[in-house]
Each structure stands twice: as C-alpha cells, then as structure tokens.
Amino acid sequence: MEPINRTYAPVQAFVDELVRCGMRHAVTSPGSRNAPLSLTLAGRPELEAVSVLDERSAGFFALGMAKATGRPVAVTCTSGTAAANLFPAVIEAWQARVPLIVLTADRPPELREVGAGQSIDQIKLYGSAVKWFVEVGTHEPHRETAVHHRALACRAYWTAAGDRPGPVHLNFPLRDPLAPEPQPLDAADWDGRLDGRPWTELRGHTAAPHGDDVQELAARIAAAPRGAIVCGPTSEDVAGPVARLAAACGWPVLAEPTSGVRCGPHERSHVVAHYDVLLRVERFATAHAPGLLLRVGNMPTSKPLRAWAAQAAQVVLDPQAAWHEPTRRAELLLRAAAAPTLDALAAAVEMRAPARDQDWLSSWRVADAQVPLALAAAPDPFEPKVLAALEPQLPDGAIVWLSSSMPVRDVEAYFPQSPKRLRFLANRGANGIDGVVSSAAGAALASGAPAWLLTGELALLHDFGGLLAARRAGADLHVICLNNGGGGIFDFLPVAAHADAALYEEHIATPATADLAVLAPEVTEVHTDRRTNVELHRQVVERVARAI
C-alpha cells in the first residue's frame, strides 16, 4: 500500500485494517470532506463499495448489507447534516443488533464553531445508540499515527461484530489536502503486519450453557406436556435444533417468519404458522394455555401471542442477554448461543421419558390447517391473501424483506410454511418504516440473492430514493406494493373510530396521490381498500373460530 499524502495515509491504514479483519462491503455518499474516506474505500478491490446519493438511504443500504451478511459494513458521509441523516439507520442497527461502522468526516478543530460551512457538533452525535464513539483526531504523519489508525480500525470492527452486535461511530476531522494529491511519505511508516493479519485480532468463543443448567431445564421441559417453543427474529440458524427439540418433547413450534424456522428444507411437522390468527380466538387461546414456553430469538410482533405468552412461565435463550423481554414474565434468561443450547436440550430430553399429551400437538396442527381454508374463502383483493399467494412464485434462496406496519403482521399471520429456503428480514428493531427499500436493496446486493420487498405505498414513498439507489447499484430487487390508500394499520386502531373523519384521513391515514406506476415502473402495485381490509381480517378470524 503506497501512502498518498498526509490526509489519505492514515485513512488508507485504517481501511486496510478493516479489510484484514474481514470487511467486504461499504457504502459511500458524495461529498468533499469525506473524499479521502470514500475514495479509499472504493479503491480497495476486496471491498464492494456502493455509492448512494442520499445519506438516509445510504445508512439503510449498509444496514441491509450487514443484516444479510452478518458482517460489519462501513458507511461514510461528509460533515454537517449529512451525518445527522444517518441517525435513523444507526438507531435501527442498535435496536436490531446489526454491526455497522459509521465513518463521518468532520471539519478539523480550527474550523469548528467559527461559521465554517457544513459544520455542526458531531461529537457523540448518535448518543447512546452506538456501542462506541471515538474522535479519531488529527495527527502528524509518522509511524505512531499509522499504529493509532490500525488499532482503531481493529477495535471498531470487533466492537461492532462482538458480544451484542451494533453500530460504532468514528468521527474523522480531516484537513487539506482532501484530494489524492501525492506527497512524499515513507511507505514503511504505514505498513501493517507483514503476514497480512490484522493489527489486533479478537478471537471469541461461543458461550455454551453449563451442564447443570441444561439438565435442569431439560427436566422442566420433559415434565411439561403442554409447552411450546416460540421462535422470533434471530441471526442464528436454529431450524434444525428447534425441530429436534420439538420432536423430543412433543411441543408445537410457533415460528415467526424471520426466525428461519417456518420455511426451509428442515423437518417442519411441529411448526404452527398461523398462531397469530388462532390466538385471536379467545376460546382457543384459553384452552391452549401453556405450562411452559421456551423462547428463541426476540419476541415476535404478534400482539395476541404476546398477551398469551404473558400468562405462562417462560425461559428465554438470548446469546447477548439483551433483555428483549416485553412480557416481563420470564423466569430464566439463558445467555448462551441458541443452536448448541437447543441441541444439548434435545439430547437431554431424549434421554428422559417426557410426559406427553397426545392431543396437544395435534390440536394445534388441526387448527392451523383451518386458517388457509378461511383465507381462501375471503374475496379478492385481500392483502393477506395476496401475500400468502406469493409462496409458489418465490424462488428457492430468495430474500423476502418485510416492511413495517401491515406487511410484517400479515406475513406473520398468514404466510404458509414452505420447504423453500426463504430468508425473511425486516427492520424490527425500532419498527419504523424508514429505509425499507434501501435495506432490501442492500441485502440483495450483499447476499447476491434476489430480493422481494413487501411494502405499503407510504413506506415505499417514504424511501423512494432507495429505488434510485437500488437501480444505480444493480440490485436484484422486486417490489410488491400494497396500495390501500393510506396507512392501513391505523384503521385497526382506536384512533380510526374516535377521531374526526376528515382530520383522521388527512393527518393519520395520509393517503398518497402519487402514481406509483409512473414513478416506479418496476413496482408491482396491488390496489386494495383500507376499510374493507379491516372487515375482511375480522371475517377470516371468525371463520377460523367457527372451524376450530
């Protein structure tokens, strides 16, 4: 690596270490102050660097990449409000445990608070939403500066990826020259380790549960014939171990799509896909009160499931002990990697003679089978019916990105289990509609898999710049837009019944007037009616209630 000049050389050393640690993707946004960062990232052949014009979109593009790959992704921007536009993606990354490395360019100290352009206070700009912040500083170009930047890069990479993954923020005050104008520097001062290893390696080890804890929990599971495994969003591959444990104890598996357990080639005979609908039937929910729940991953979105779970004894597997426990009823939080823990539990239960209620699992499966029949009887167009019908069209290995509000809920409630390897992803950390197009495009590009975004029209318009970013980057992204004339989820809430109708329509539902077919010809648009949609949801639940 030949150092360019006093501004670029430290950045070159920093980026070199990110590559050595394992980074493979980066996102840049245009600007002058961040030119050293952007050009250095883009100039590394090991990195796939994507240019995204709008910083808010760029942040979510990087988020989607990191979520799809599980590796830290760098995103850089120029100084001033550009850095503030990354904030929504930073918040989502923190809430959803996604590793991001945010590299903001800044004015040097002598240009701060003196009226210089594009200058704001960027020190700890993202507050408690990042795992670590560092003001990189300005340094004379010598060996210790190279060591400083190399060590910082390694710490940034492993901090973002390790323990509870999340975003880190490094603020780079950069002086001229901001252009890659060559200056005479000693190349040896800027070298990394000769064998290509990172300056500092971090080697983590999977936390295995203590044998006594496994045996104690296995005994509880074996003694509970009417239990259930609840699988929510997780970055671990738990499908096989969950199936093994479910077979050992005879429990149903209530699998949210983003858990990776509802769809795939693994054994799915215990999977219950439509628990959200079933638990809306009070008689069924009461008759199926569980003796014990084992929860894997974050709590699913379903409100009926959360209410049902709050009445039960619960054990939560969480490798980072992030305390994602909205019911506040968990008796045990087991900080251990989920997959090996589930395998260990399955082996321990298999060695016992678990108590079984022969009707328990079958009653769940029989009831689950009634939901597709009730859905098929609903008239067209009906949003859950449209989404459920996508399963035959999706190719094996596809990514399905779920927008917040109605799509994520309708897919949770109605999408069938499938033998296809379908990977469902969503921004459910902060649950906003921010950046859904950009996130889906980033996931498609980083994974190399085709991606389908399932979204409403408001979320699509909210991130319309993401379509431009996806097109510029060449992402294989297919958008299914359910246009129901506004924020359909609000029609399910009390505000729809109690607010002034005209004010509700203008300020809450906010129907869009944009012609999406003209603005985005690659979008498949399905028109539905918001008010009819609410009634059809109720009718489906009523049909299921009569059937079970």
| Share above pLDDT 70 across residues of the chain, in percent, rounded to a whole number | 99
Closest CA to 172 of 117, 114, 123: 123
* Prediction pTM value: 0.93
Overall average pLDDT of the 388-406 stretch: 96
Question: For residue 377, what pLDDT band results from cuts at 50, 70 and 90?
Answer: very high
Arithmetic mean of pLDDT, 2-6: 95
Per-residue pLDDT tens digits for 119-178: 999 999 999 999 999 999 999 999 999 999 999 999 999 999 998 999 999 999 999 999
Distance CA 448, CA 430 (A): 26
Q: In what order do the strands lie in the sheet with 167-173?
A: 48-51, 25-28, 73-77, 100-106, 167-173, 132-135
User: Does residue 454 sit in helix, strand or coil?
Assistant: strand
Q: Determine the pLDDT at residue 517.
A: 65
- Residue 521 confidence (pLDDT): 67
Task: Give, in degrees to the nearest 5, the angle at Cα 99 between 95 and 103.
Answer: 105
pLDDT at 511 over 90: no
For residues 230 and 254, is the Cβ–Cβ distance under 8 A?
Answer: yes
The SS3 of residue 252 is coil
Residue 400, Cβ neighbours under 10 Å: how many? 28
What region does 388 belong to: left with phi over 0, alpha with psi -120 to 50, or beta?
A: alpha
Q: What is the pLDDT of residue 397?
A: 97
Tell me how far apart the alpha carbons of residues 359 and 55 are, in angstroms, rounded to a whole number.
Answer: 55
Continuous segment of H or E residues that includes residue 273 = none
Share of the chain above pLDDT 90, in %: 81
Pick the CATH number of 211-370 from 3.10.290.10, 3.40.50.720, 3.40.50.1220, 3.40.50.300: 3.40.50.1220
Confidence of residue 378 (pLDDT cuts 50, 70, 90): very high
User: Would you state the pLDDT for residue 221?
Assistant: 96
CA distance 102 to 41: 13
Alpha-carbon distance 25 to 41, whole Å?
A: 9
For strands 330-334 and 25-28, give the pairing.
Answer: unpaired
**CATH 3.40.50.970: which residues of the chain?**
8-190, 383-527
The mean-pLDDT minimum among 75-84, 365-374, 499-508 falls in: 499-508
Q: Give me the residue label for tokens 């946004």.
A: 29
Q: Which CATH superfamily is domain 383-527 in?
A: Thiamin diphosphate (ThDP)-binding fold, Pyr/PP domains (3.40.50.970)
Check pLDDT > 70 for residue 230: yes
Token pair 């389908």 in the structure block, residue:
452
What is the rounded average pLDDT of the residues 500-528?
A: 79
Cα 71 to Cα 19, 41, 125, 160, 506: the distances in Å are 12, 16, 24, 9, 42
Q: Tell me the C-alpha distance between 150 and 244, whole Å.
A: 45
- What local confidence, expressed as pLDDT, does residue 520 receive? 64
Residues 424-444: tens digit of each pLDDT: 999 999 888 899 999 999 999
Q: What would the mean pLDDT of 290-309 be, rounded to a whole number? A: 95
Helical spans, DSSP H, in 163-274? 211-222, 239-249
**What average pLDDT does this structure show over 484-499?**
81
pLDDT for the residue 519: 63
At residue 319 the predicted structure's pLDDT band, cuts being 50, 70 and 90, is confident
Distance in angstroms (rounded) separating the CA atoms of residues 35 and 77: 9
Burial of residue 342, with CB atoms counted within 10 A of its CB: 0-12 exposed, 13-18 middle, 19 or more buried: buried
CA 231 to chain CA centroid, nearest Å: 15
Taking the C-alpha atoms of residue 297 and residue 311, their distance in angstroms, rounded to an integer, is 19
Cα dihedral sign, 135-141-143-144: negative
The class (CATH top level) of 8-190 is alpha beta
Residue 185 confidence class, pLDDT cut points 50, 70, 90? very high
* Ramachandran category for residue 282: left, alpha or beta (phi over 0 → left; psi -120 to 50 → alpha): alpha
> What does the pLDDT read at residue 518?
64
Token pair of 504 as six digits: 């509700």
Q: Are 526 and 481 in contact (CB under 8 A)?
A: yes
* Parts of the chain belonging to CATH 3.40.50.1220: 211-370
**CA-CA distance, 457 to 527, in Å (whole number)?**
10
Mapped onto helix, strand or coil, the DSSP state of residue 482 is strand
DSSP annotation of 379: P
